[in-house]
Amino acid sequence: MVELQQPKFVYMGGKLRLWEDAKLHVGCEALTRGLNVYEGIKGYWQSDGRFGIVMLRRHYERLRRSARLLYIPCEWTYQEYESATLELITQLVQPDRDMWARTTLFVVEGHWGEGTVADLVITAYHQDKQPPQAINLGVSTWRRSVDVALPARIKTGTNYQVGRLARIEGRARGCQDMVLLNQWGRVAETTGACILMVRDGVVYTPPATEGALESITLDVVEALANSMGIPFVRRPIDRTELLIADEMALCGTLAELPLVKSFEGQPMSESALILEALQTRLLNAVRGIDPHPAIELSLLPAPGVFKCREAAGSALSVPS
Ligand code: PMP
């Protein structure tokens, strides 16, 4: 057994470096998809000129649940989490651009789970105010991992390895996202969002026990559907049901509610009246154009207070 040590040199980036200089950036893929739990959160400019972050407390609660399931200590209270997120976004936000932030609890110490120490790292990226584009969707040959291996309920970067494989597979087939089936061969979710299907006027989505993340946006969309008189049912979905669905869309914080324009290479019907109506209702609700009680916002101070400065090296597109 090799004990944990800190030898003088490490080989990295093509040369030997001092142990303390061998560093990876917190935004790099190896760390992003590594031992951590995280939340992707969304902030929108509101119709009254304020900037609001959507469902922040729900994200904090899910972060804590994920951390608990992976034995990662979370020392941050909700107030600390909220004020750190608001502080960063206040510094970065720009007029007319929304933001997507990633709040990640990284494991920085603790060999095989002994004496685990975590640090909260928050990064935030600009996003243009475009409604989501309709996508081509396929079914991946990769599967959602099972609850007794790497539970889908835990929002950890590690869980996204399979999504990475599925996206690589999907790109080769011209698909922007892919459905992951569960161990029973039924629909779980896509690589970064839940799935909505319409059959005979009813919106269906699989329950989390089918291998989907416990989605916050899904709860919001369900509440919107209820207010609009659209039947919304959570039940297992067979793969073949997606092939004969009347309408399909993804559902998630970053994805929002993009319609599916083709599935497994076959075009979907041009009219997706129900999901289009839900998409419009969702976007109007999160922007405060048509508020809904299901949506809680954490508001930044008035726009005049912002310094509105661009962070050096900030991303042009939003990584998920
Ligand atoms: N499933 C996966 C795999 C996701 O990454 C996401 C995005 N967080 C979702 C579902 C949707 O969850 P939420 O609505 O909470 O963003």
pLDDT digits (tens, 9 = 90+) for 179-219: 999 999 999 999 999 999 999 999 999 999 999 999 999 99
Query: Residue 303: what pLDDT?
Result: 55
What is the pTM assigned to this prediction? 0.93
User: Residue 250 class from Cβ within 10 Å (0-12 exposed, 13-18 middle, 19+ buried)?
Assistant: buried
129-156: per-residue pLDDT in tens?
A: 999 999 999 999 999 999 999 999 999 9
Site to substitute for ligand 1 among 53, 54, 213, most atoms within 8 A of C-beta: 213
Query: Residue 270: what pLDDT?
Result: 86
Edge-first strand order for the sheet with 232-234 is 232-234, 202-205, 194-199, 247-251
Q: Find the length of the chain.
A: 320
pLDDT tops 70 at residue 318: no
Q: Which residue has the higher pLDDT, 303 or 104?
A: 104
Asked if 308 contacts 95 with a C-beta cutoff of 8 angstroms, the reply is yes
How many A from CA of 194 to the centre of ligand 1?
A: 6
pLDDT tops 90 at residue 55: yes
Report the pLDDT averaged over residues 62-84.
Answer: 98
* pLDDT range class, residue 306, cuts 50, 70, 90: very low
Say if ligand 1 is within 6 A of residue 252 CB: yes
pLDDT tops 70 at residue 311: no
**Gap between the Cα atoms of 64 and 41, Å rounded:** 15
Question: Which long-range CB contacts under 8 A does 264-269 form with residues at least 24 apart?
Answer: 264/137, 264/138, 264/139, 265/138, 265/173
Asked if 157 contacts 107 with a C-beta cutoff of 8 angstroms, the reply is no
Query: Residue 304: what pLDDT?
Result: 52
Q: Token pair for residue 98? A: 């929304």
Report the pLDDT averaged over residues 106-123.
Answer: 96
Query: Residue 309: what pLDDT?
Result: 39
Residues whose CB falls within 8 Å of the CB of residue 234, separated by 6 or more in sequence, listed in order: 204, 205, 206, 207
Q: Which residue's alpha carbon is at the smallest distance from atom 3 of ligand 1?
A: 192
Query: Residue 273: what pLDDT?
Result: 96
Ligand 1 atom nearest residue 218's Cα: 14
**Which of 108, 143, 123, 142 shows the shortest CA–CA distance to 34?**
108
**Which of 263, 165, 151 shows the shortest CA–CA distance to 212?**
151
How many A from CA of 200 to the centre of ligand 1?
A: 26
Say if ligand 1 is within 6 A of residue 189 CB: yes
Round the average pLDDT of the chain to a whole number and report it: 93
**Which of 157, 147, 154 shows the shortest CA–CA distance to 184?**
147
How many A from CA of 193 to the centre of ligand 1?
A: 4
Query: Residue 320: what pLDDT?
Result: 57
CA 289 to chain centre: 23
Asked if 147 contacts 187 with a C-beta cutoff of 8 angstroms, the reply is no
Site to substitute for ligand 1 among 58, 143, 194, most atoms within 8 A of C-beta: 194
Residues whose CB falls within 8 Å of the CB of residue 160, separated by 6 or more in sequence, listed in order: 33, 191, 192
291-302: per-residue pLDDT in tens?
A: 999 999 999 976
Query: Residue 121: what pLDDT?
Result: 98
**Which of 43, 27, 39, 40 shows the shortest CA–CA distance to 94?**
43
**Gap between the Cα atoms of 214 and 154, Å rounded:** 9
Q: Token pair for residue 280? A: 């419009």
5-41: per-residue pLDDT in tens?
A: 899 999 999 999 999 999 999 999 999 999 999 999 9
**Gap between the Cα atoms of 96 and 45, Å rounded:** 7
* CB-facing half-sphere around the CA of 19: CA atoms within 13 A: 4
Q: Which residue's alpha carbon is at the smallest distance from atom 1 of ligand 1?
A: 193
Say if ligand 1 is within 6 A of residue 192 CB: yes
